[in-house]
Structure 1
Amino acid sequence: MALQVEEKHELVKVARPDAAVGIDLGIKTLAVLAGRDGVLDAEPNPRYFDRAQNQLRRAGRAVSRRRGPDRRTGQQASRRWEKANQARNKIHHRVANLREDTLHKMTTRLACE
């Protein structure tokens, strides 16, 4: 059984259409926002993002201590390297998702304001 519904969406007007903001994405902070009046506002990195970065740093060190593949000599990677590399890739994926989610939430909030 299929059901199709047509719904009319009302356009939502922006609260302040004349407002403008300059955004500078950073490393130590997520972003620095500057309004027309010159007021600076720093958007800090979320705590969970910093914690994920630390996990990624630790996982990278664990991978570097294992015997990885060597193309020059044809040496195969050890099972421990593959397992550690898989864990690092999982954390990489999570960090990428966290970064994308945080930027999406920030840009949506700024567009609504």
Structure 2
Amino acid sequence: MIGFVLVALGGLTGALSRFGVQKLMPHSVLPVATLTVNILGSFLLGWIVGQGIQGNLYLFAATGFMGAFTTFSTLNVDLVKLIINKDNKTVLVYVISTYIGGLFSAAAGLFIGRLL
């Protein structure tokens, strides 16, 4: 039962944090807020795994917080909107930035997490 509570509390704080980032970031053609939370989220999740965090802290931070903070579904909706608007250059930049940036960010977080 404690696991469900920890995931729920992590999810609440992650969702509120994502909402805060979206409110702070300027709106532009490129979905900067979504890109930011996905890159930061990839790094943080890599760091959590690299640190070897397990148990209740993992449930709160990785499953709950990071699950709500990162926005894969929003990423896809943003991409569909850009495709519908035929903004092909922005689609390409966004896909490359998100996936390549996310991979490098996760790897960096994992590496740094293991060092500390």
Q: What is the TM-score of this pair, normalised by structure 2?
A: 0.37
Higher strand share: 1
Structure with the larger RCO, 1 or 2 (CA within 8 Å, 6+ apart): 2
Higher helix share: 2
Q: What is the TM-score of this pair, normalised by structure 1?
A: 0.37
Query: Over alpha carbons, which structure has the higher Rg?
Result: 1
